[in-house]
Amino acid sequence: MVEDIHDVTEEEHGDTLLALHLGYHSLPIVSIYLGSERSREALRGAGIDRLTLYHNPVLGVLAPDEIRLYVKQTLEKCGILHTPDDRDGLAAEIVERSGGWPQHLHCETAALFGELMRTDGNLAAVDREEVRKRAASYQEDSFDRYQSRELKTTGSLVAAVLECIPDTGLPLPYVCDVIEKMACPEGPASWQIPAGMSSFDLWEHLNHCGVLHEREHHIYCCPVPGLRAWFSGLVQRPG
């Protein structure tokens, strides 16, 4: 498995990747590449260009119909007692709360099955409010895991930067400009760029931690539902 495949260069990695892809070493290896939306372009540059859509799945937000199908299949495969009305009502709640984000969907599933254990697998007897509370708690924990040691010290600056980045995203130079404009070198530590880092370093760190995601044409945004608001809750106002 190769991560950040969008950063591959033909000069540095092309020969190695192409040899593995074509099986020159006669090894039982299946290559899996993970990267942003420009990964196919990078792979083509390394000589790996015969990838169909089937071999290039896009990970990200699920459509409401996909979540409904997931709920239906999960309940059926696990033998959960339910009616179509109960199932559809549950799916509607999960669609609304998760925003289609797979990580949030995982939190919702864990919360649901925690309650199903209490009801011996009877969906009708599940306390939906308890499911909501559990899922919110799991989601809070998942947000906390986005924070590295560096981000824990500069949460207010990160929150301010995310507020300035529209849903459609910004090009990298603009993200760096926002970081520099929102930073308060004389303010509390939570408003400063971490010591030893530049605005570019902080952008790179945010991207690596999954707070920012790259779209096509080097556009960066924060697509995780609720994450921007969660960082806003960490803000310490300077002065």
Residue whose C-alpha is closest to residue 167's, from 217, 222, 224, 100 = 222
Counted residue by residue, the chain has a size of 239
The answer to whether residues 165 and 214 belong to one domain is yes
Whether residue 221 contacts residue 212, with contact meaning beta carbons closer than 8 Å, is answered with yes
- pLDDT score, position 107: 95
Q: Is 7 helix (H, G, I), strand (E, B) or coil?
A: helix
The answer to whether residues 91 and 27 belong to one domain is no
- pLDDT score, position 197: 95
Q: Kindly report the CA angle at 224 between 223 and 227, in degrees rounded to 5? A: 120
CB atoms within 10 A of CB 182: 19
* Domain limit, last residue, from 98, 124, 144: 144
- pLDDT score, position 208: 84
Q: Which residues pair with 214 in a beta bridge?
A: 220
CA 143 to CA 128: how far, in whole Å?
Answer: 22
Q: Is 48 helix (H, G, I), strand (E, B) or coil?
A: coil
CA 53 to CA 49: how far, in whole Å?
Answer: 12
- pLDDT score, position 166: 94
Question: What angle separates helix 199-209 from helix 172-182, to the nearest 10 degrees?
Answer: 110
Mention every residue, 6+ apart, whose C-beta is less than 8 A from residue 133: 111
Whether residue 47 contacts residue 14, with contact meaning beta carbons closer than 8 Å, is answered with yes
pTM here is 0.71
Domain extent, residue 88, equals 64-144
Residue-by-residue pLDDT tens, the chain, 239 positions: 666 666 666 666 667 766 766 666 677 777 777 766 667 677 776 666 666 555 565 667 889 999 999 999 999 999 998 999 999 999 999 999 999 998 999 999 999 999 999 999 999 999 999 999 999 999 999 998 888 888 889 999 999 999 999 999 999 999 999 999 999 988 888 999 999 999 999 999 998 888 998 887 789 999 898 999 999 887 765 55
* Domain limit, last residue, from 106, 126, 144: 144
The domain total for the chain is: 3
Question: Residues 145, 147, 150, 154: what is their CA dihedral angle, to the nearest 10 degrees?
Answer: -160
* Domain limit, last residue, from 86, 116, 144: 144
The answer to whether residues 22 and 40 belong to one domain is yes
- pLDDT score, position 191: 93
Indicate whether 12 belongs to any domain.
Answer: yes
The answer to whether residues 180 and 157 belong to one domain is yes
- pLDDT score, position 127: 94
Q: Is 225 helix (H, G, I), strand (E, B) or coil?
A: coil
Indicate whether 237 belongs to any domain.
Answer: no
- pLDDT score, position 210: 87
The answer to whether residues 130 and 168 belong to one domain is no
Burial class (CB in 10 A: 0-12, 13-18, 19+), 208: exposed
CA 153 to CA 149: how far, in whole Å?
Answer: 7
Sheet holding 170-171, edge to edge: 170-171, 219-221, 213-215
Within the chain, strands assigned E span 170-171, 213-215, 219-221
Indicate whether 239 belongs to any domain.
Answer: no
Indicate whether 174 belongs to any domain.
Answer: yes
Indicate whether 238 belongs to any domain.
Answer: no
The answer to whether residues 154 and 181 belong to one domain is yes
CA 208 to CA 231: how far, in whole Å?
Answer: 17
The answer to whether residues 222 and 171 belong to one domain is yes
Indicate whether 177 belongs to any domain.
Answer: yes
Indicate whether 89 belongs to any domain.
Answer: yes
Indicate whether 126 belongs to any domain.
Answer: yes
Look at the block and give the residue holding tokens 């925690």: 114
